[in-house]
Amino acid sequence: MQVAMKIWRYDAATGERALREYEIDAPEEATLLDCLDIVKDKVDGTLAYRKSCRMMICGSCGMRMDGAAVLACKTRMFDVAKEGRVPVISAMGNLPIVRDLVVDMDPFWEKFKAMKPYLQPGYDRPEDGREYRITQERMNAVKKEALCINCGCCVSECNAMESDPEFLGPQALAKGFRFVGDPRDAATVERLEQYSGEHGIWECTRCFFCNERCPKGVDPRDAIAKLGAEAIRTGIDRDMGAKHAKWFVRSTETTGWLRETELVPKTQGVVSSIKQMKFALNLIKHNKAGLAFPPHVAANVDEARRLRRLVLAQGRLGSAGHIQGERALAKLEHGHHDGGDPYGPGSFPKPYLPEDTE
């Protein structure tokens, strides 16, 4: 098939940037990575990009196609070529470009290392000198986080990091939850304290781009939400973000709706609220903030309260309560269709052992 693509080239020595178009002939099963290889081999040997495993496990080939982060090895080009589209290939975002599609991963790894990314068990090893005994079910709390291959696709797309480059970011925080959620780790409180600080958990803007773009189904935003919930459960709630979240719960539990007028003082404190008086008066003037006292109570507030009681009864405070955005990677990514008959008409013959035919 004929594949055309435009690649953002960048020369570190001169600082020159240029969008170049390439047209190549590639086999139908070719991935974006295969196409880049063909360009490098046969058209322009100076094209720079990282690669290694070509089976979406090493995490080398994160880059952007039409502005969205992908693993080049996972991206089949057949549909793009068939539609005659000419995708634009560029380096990942939020990381300095070294050359062409190669980014400097140092800032990425610095944040990773800042998480104390290793198990800190309470004691050196179990007394009997054997493995820790833990059920699969408990380990599964960090199953998705353990899938992370550190490719950087989530970091590339992170909107919060774009405004605060020091934000720990989705991959580091997902790694953090990998240990907070691990029943063997004994440094939970220290970790939550640290991750709740400036540039931490509460800086995430919940745009969900990381979940959307993660090629492995790690769902980093879910990990951040779980860290937040665990922090609050542990009583680590000094951060405005934590207070904000807590007020949401309190407000819906008492009146069944969100009382925004009280949200600012509860989250930011009295002094900060006074400073924002002018803004608040403006909101009132335009009928955007309720001043009713006593506050309006929703008709079916009981439903919200029942929900709350259910969460408490099931012990689903903290990360255990987070099923939001949960998806079985294999199901959603590839369109798992239930109910088909693997042995139905037109299917591959049923297996048999040789003597069955005799």
For other proteins, the binding residues in 91-150 under the rule CB under 8 A are: 98-100, 102, 105, 109, 112-113, 117-119, 121, 124-126, 129-136, 139, 142-143, 146-147, 149-150
Interaction mask 158-197, other proteins, x per CB under 8 A: ---------------------x--x-xx------------
Instruction: DSSP for 234-290, please give it.
Output: TT---SHHHHHHHHHHHHHHHHSS--HHHHHHHHH-HHHHHHTHHHHHHHHHTT-S-
User: In 3D, which of 207, 252, 244, 251 has the Cα closest to residue 228?
Assistant: 244
For the bound state, the minimum distance from the C-beta of residue 340 to other proteins, rounded and expressed in Å, comes to: 5
For the bound state, the minimum distance from the C-beta of residue 81 to other proteins, rounded and expressed in Å, comes to: 16
In whole angstroms, give the CA distance from residue 343 to residue 299.
53
Q: Give the HSE-up count for residue 62: Cα atoms under 13 Å, Cβ half-sphere.
A: 26
For the bound state, the minimum distance from the C-beta of residue 231 to other proteins, rounded and expressed in Å, comes to: 21
Please report, as residue ranges, which positions from 230 to 289 form the binding site for other proteins (by CB under 8 A).
Answer: none
Q: Which is nearer to other proteins, 49 or 209 (CB)?
A: 49
Let me know the angle formed at the C-alpha of 56 by 54 and 61, rounded to the nearest 5 degrees. Answer: 65
Which whole-number Å values give the CA distances from 319 to 114, 116, 170, 240, 244, in the listed order? 22, 20, 16, 19, 17
Site size toward other proteins, by CB under 8 A: 80
Contact with other proteins (CB under 8 A) among 41, 162, 166, 198: 41
For the bound state, the minimum distance from the C-beta of residue 193 to other proteins, rounded and expressed in Å, comes to: 19
In whole angstroms, give the CA distance from residue 219 to residue 316.
20
Contact with other proteins (CB under 8 A) among 2, 286, 350, 358: 350
For the bound state, the minimum distance from the C-beta of residue 342 to other proteins, rounded and expressed in Å, comes to: 4
The residue to which tokens 């178009």 are assigned: 21
User: In 3D, which of 91, 101, 100 has the Cα closest to residue 11?
Assistant: 100
Interaction mask 292-331, other proteins, x per CB under 8 A: ------------------------------------xxxx
Stretch that binds other proteins, among 34-42, 153-161, 257-265, 295-303 (CB under 8 A): 34-42
Q: Which is nearer to other proteins, 51 or 246 (CB)?
A: 51
Q: Which is nearer to other proteins, 146 or 301 (CB)?
A: 146
Please report, as residue ranges, which positions from 62 to 81 form the binding site for other proteins (by CB under 8 A).
Answer: 74, 76
Interaction mask 5-24, other proteins, x per CB under 8 A: ------xxx-----------
Q: Which is nearer to other proteins, 28 or 162 (CB)?
A: 28
Secondary structure string (H, E, C) spanning 6-70: EEEEEECCCCEEEEEEEEEECCCCCEHHHHHHHHHHHHCCCCCCCCCCCCCCCCCCEEEECCEEE
> Given its phi and psi angles, is residue 338 left (phi above 0), alpha (psi -120 to 50 degrees) or beta?
beta
Helix, strand or coil for residue 97? strand
Q: Which is nearer to other proteins, 135 or 300 (CB)?
A: 135
Let me know the angle formed at the C-alpha of 212 by 82 and 242, rounded to the nearest 5 degrees. Answer: 170
Q: Which is nearer to other proteins, 311 or 329 (CB)?
A: 329
Q: Which is nearer to other proteins, 52 or 314 (CB)?
A: 52
